[in-house]
Amino acid sequence: MVKTVLVTGVNGFIGSHVAALLGKSHRVYGTGGAPACSVPLAGYRQMVLPDPQLAAFMRQVRPDVVVHCAGRGSIPFSVNHPAEDFDAGPRLVAHVLDSMRRAAVPARFFFPSSAAVYGNPERLPVSEDAPLCPVSPYGCHKVLSEKLISQYHSLYGIEYVVLRVFSCYGEGLSKQLLWDAAVKACAGRVELSGTGEETRDFIHVHDLARLAELLMLRDVSCVTLNAASGRQVSVKELAGLLMRGLEADVPVLFSGAQRQGDPLRWQADVARMQSLGFEPHISLEEGVRRFARWFRQQGARRNGS
């Protein structure tokens, strides 16, 4: 079944991958701050949200699904700029939901939330029913956004899918841990925060896009899901995979100092996701190899320019 999809923040990391995958089989429209879109679309509107014209664009497009990818995705940024992170988080969520209400479009709202809502879980793997105890403004703002989504569903009947994304990575992500470590490897010295024993649960962005498409095609609604692999991996192990992928003979050091707002250990309970028939296709080993290959290509382009 061909769906009509509107992706906000379509030029961003997650938004561009979701739009590229869905665009192969569906009518995908997008909004973003850049003059043009980085992926082929059925239609694109340049706008920086919040924008009063969003509701009118929704009435024109008549989407079946709105995938809200606009905003920020950085815990350190939220710690240093909490008010700006609020504006890019709950404020934008309320704006998009209210634009849907005013446009009166019968669309489902897909929202990439974050494992940051759990903070430091008491036990692992952490399920969707675990207490929400964020330890950063970013996590707190995701909790607030989820509450807004629930309220708009209760009051106005807007259906939703909330994906609590754990550590999403992949080609095109020019920030966060893999990018930071790769840039430092090129400089000949890799020192990362923490001890290296901190753990994360990684999901490749292509698998995240596949999950969104599966849920969209099955008309799943009013559900909150962990989006992850279910595998706990230490930062030290991840860094080793990256160095091998880059063919970099560089030791990886750790400062021992924890960054404020960072969780210590993450592993998702993915039983609910699996019950809907979804399994990730891209292993961490393969995903890191892909990232390393993409990173080397970026360096080759820069050196050749």
pLDDT digits (tens, 9 = 90+) for 146-185: 999 999 999 999 999 999 999 999 999 998 899 999 999 9
Q: Which residue ranges in the chain fall short of pLDDT 70?
A: 300-305
Tokens (6 digits) for 222: 């009013």
Q: Which amino acid is at 218?
A: R
Distance CA 11, CA 54 (A): 17
256: Cβ contacts below 8 Å, ≥ 6 apart:
194, 195
Token pair 């995705």: residue:
73
Extents of the domains making up the chain = 4-171+203-231+264-282
**Can you give the pLDDT at residue 1?**
86
- Nearest Cα neighbor of 189 from 244, 243, 238 is 243
In what helix (H) or strand (E) does residue 111 lie, and over which residues does it extend? strand 108-114
The secondary structure of residue 11, as a DSSP letter, is: T
The superfamily (CATH) of domain 4-171+203-231+264-282 is: NAD(P)-binding Rossmann-like Domain (3.40.50.720)
Q: Give the bridge partners for 66, in sequence order.
A: 6, 109
User: How would you classify the pairing of strands 233-234 and 108-114?
Assistant: unpaired
Radius of gyration from C-alpha coordinates of the chain = 19
pLDDT of residue 305: 44
Q: Tokens standing for 211?
A: 């999950």
What does the pLDDT read at residue 302? 61
Q: Look-up: residue for tokens 């050091």?
A: 253
Q: What is the pTM of this model?
A: 0.95
How many of the other CB atoms lie within 10 Å of CB of 249?
8
Q: Can you tell me which residue has the tokens 């209210």?
A: 98
Chain Cα centroid distance, residue 21: 15
Q: How far apart are CA 271 and CA 124, in angstroms?
A: 13
Distance CA 220, CA 3 (A): 14
Cis (ω within 30 of 0) for the bond into 52? no
Bridge partners of 233, per DSSP, are 200
Full DSSP string of 202-263: EEEHHHHHHHHHHHHHTT--SEEEEES-S--EEHHHHHHHHHHHHT----EEE--PPPTT--
DSSP string for 254-293: E--PPPTT--S---B--HHHHHTT----S-HHHHHHHHHH
The reported pLDDT for the residue numbered 73 is: 86
- Helix runs in 23-74, H state only: 54-61
